[in-house]
Structure 1
Amino acid sequence: MSTEIEPRLRLEQFLGLQLKRERQAQALKLADVARIAGISQGMLSKIENAQVSTSLDTLSRLCDVLGMPMSKLFAQYDQPDGNALLVKAGEGMEVVRRGTEKGHTYQLLNHTRGPKKSFEAYMVSMDDASEEFPTFSHPGTELLHLLEGELVYRHGNQLYRMQAGDSLSFDGETPHGPEELVRVPIRMLSVINYGTE
């Protein structure tokens, strides 16, 4: 069984779906719309279910019956393809960052295209409660969301006790990092926003 998802509907499927949605939104019966548009009920059913290609004249009549401009029928068909990045669980690219040798594992969850990156997202795993960790400093704003475990996190001269479900956001320029791993394993999401210049 294929897990592929058809990204784009054929034009006939798209138009049929739009007509059917509009008809149903107005609570109109198939038979009534077909009669007023001057086509058979069977033909309208085939158009709505993309079993036939129909003429522009028929589409125009159906739009008139439904009280919708024909441009609306086609409006979203040619929208640009999406440009999202899906990283499946556990498949983020493992990267080396300061602290990696101390028992941190970083999985990069985004791969920004182009010369400038606006943000980075990591899944950080720590499992050795006895290690001492370095502090970090970087441009931008960082958000940490603790998914599992418990730790004390340092930001400048302040200490924050974090439990699963807690979030902490801060200026990345101020030295920061784990102060104490209270309960391991620890998994947290780290998102660094570099902003735009």
Structure 2
Amino acid sequence: MIIRKARLGKSMVLQELATRSDLSISFLSQVERNLLTPSISALKRIADVLDIPAGSLMFGAESRKGGIGIGLVRRGNRKRVVFPDSQIAYEMLTPDLRRRMSVLWLKAPPHGESGPVFSHDGEDAVIVLKGRLKIEIGGVWYELASGDSLYFSSELPHRWRNESAKPAEVIWISTPPSF
């Protein structure tokens, strides 16, 4: 439903989305009708074509408006994103992406990294709970250790890297929600 709504909002036919995302019309039609659950990489390709945050597709947020004022997320009920062939894991600490911010628990394995730099609207805050994490913002690297925090405009190109031989655990806050 979210993909269809975003596609129609851009006056895009299914064929155009299929061509631009390099996915079949049949596959996309089944995804739009909730008959298939796409992989994270397929969701990312769809989100890139539709110019929307991939997280809004991964966590099922249709709208940031009209949400309830309280959202309790129990430890065992967190929504998780795990990337294929990777030990990087994100857990949602907020109930969904319909809020004014998202709070993620990032588990960065030794020598793990987020990939190429990216940017998005808003601001990010990072708090290192365990281990060390390097974050590149606008071409400058910042090294954070346990207890350190960093706040920045997420419109600046950024990425992270764990260069140590030990895992890092980080709280990553984004406003507005982005993934």
TM class by shorter chain equals 0.5 to 0.7
Distance 1:142 1:83, change over 3 A: same
Q: CA deviation at 1:90?
A: 4.9
**Pairwise CA distance, 1:120:** 0.8
Give 1:129 shift. Answer: 1.2
1:183 Cα deviation after fit: 4.5
Q: Which residue is equivalent to 1:181?
A: 163
Match of 1:107 among 62, 73, 91: 91
Aligned counterpart, 2:74: 88
Q: Pairwise mapping of residues 50-129 of structure 1 onto structure 2 (< 5 A)? A: 83-95=69-81, 100-101=83-84, 102-112=86-96, 117-129=99-111
Q: Which of 137, 143, 159 is residue 155 of structure 1 equivalent to?
A: 137
Provide the TM-score with structure 2 as the length reference: 0.52
For 1:140, the equivalent position in structure 2 comes to 122
Q: In structure 1, how many angstroms separate the alpha carbons of the residues matched to 2:96 and 2:112?
A: 35
Q: Structure 1 residues 130, 192: CA separation in 2 closer, same or farther (over 3 Å shift)?
A: closer
Displacement of 1:135 in angstroms is 2.1
Amino acid at match of 1:89: R
User: Which sections of structure 2, spanning at least 5 residues, go unmatched?
Assistant: 1-67
| Structure 2 CA distance for aligned equivalents of residues 150 and 92 of structure 1 | 24
Q: C-alpha root-mean-square deviation of aligned residues, in Å?
A: 2.6
CA contact (8 A) 1:129 1:180 kept: yes
* Aligned pairs, number: 109
C-alpha contact (below 8 Å) 1:103/1:131 kept by paired residues: no
Which TM-score applies when normalising by structure 1? 0.48
Q: Does 1 or 2 have the higher relative contact order (CA < 8 Å, sep 6+)?
A: 2
Q: Distance in 2 between matches of 1:91 and 1:125?
A: 17
Matching residue of 1:50: none
